[in-house]
Structure 1
Amino acid sequence: MRLRDQLLTVSEAYAHAVGRSEARVSTIVFGSGNAISRLRGGADMGSERLHNGLQWFTDNWPTGADWPAGVPRPARTVDEAAA
């Protein structure tokens, strides 16, 4: 699975788990409400931005929600004791 597809899969699962729209999640993660929908529509996003997005999701993944199968999960960077 391509990195872009991994991010789309994770963002969809996150939006479902927290009950937020794709646009709201896109705003929270990327500062742009249409970044994820543009990516879904075939637009390009740099690899660093994709990696940073996946890192945001892993660091902020909701407790009790399952990470999508088939998508490698990066190691957390957030200190859980400080969170």
Structure 2
Amino acid sequence: MLRMDSIDSLLRVARAYAAAEGVDLSTASWRALGDTKKLAAMEQGADIQVRRFQRTMVWFSDNWPAEAEWPEGIERPVQQVTS
């Protein structure tokens, strides 16, 4: 299993999601974080709070395109079931 820091993992997931959906990273950032610039800022070295990171990874997992593969080496959060 690949070991990466959390921000690198989140950015890999976000880029894979954006590619699978055919959208820019800013669109993926808006969908997952409600902020078009957050993922780009993280690429430039910005940080993210732990709880926000966790919520964002769960959001990507819950909204992952069915035909796309989750990035290898990154643990996928368990999908949240909503009733």
Q: When the two structures are superposed, what TM-score results if normalisation uses the length of structure 2?
A: 0.91
Are 2:73 and 1:70 equivalent residues in the alignment?
yes
What SS does the aligned partner of 2:47 have? coil
- Find the partner of 2:14 among 2, 11, 14: 11
- Deviations 1:35-67, CA, capped at 9 Å, x for gaps: 000011101110111111100000000011000
Query: What is the alpha-carbon root mean square deviation over aligned residues?
Result: 1.0
CA distance in 1, matches of 2:11, 2:65: 17
- Report deviation, 1:78: 2.9
How many residues are paired up? 80
Q: When the two structures are superposed, what TM-score results if normalisation uses the length of structure 1?
A: 0.91
The structure 1 segments of at least 4 consecutive aligned residues displaced by more than 6 Å after TM superposition are none
Amino acid aligned to 2:41: R
Amino acid aligned to 1:17: A
Q: Any unmatched runs of 5+ in structure 2?
A: none
- Residue identity over aligned pairs, in percent, reads 36
Partner of residue 39, structure 1:
42
What SS does the aligned partner of 1:29 have? helix
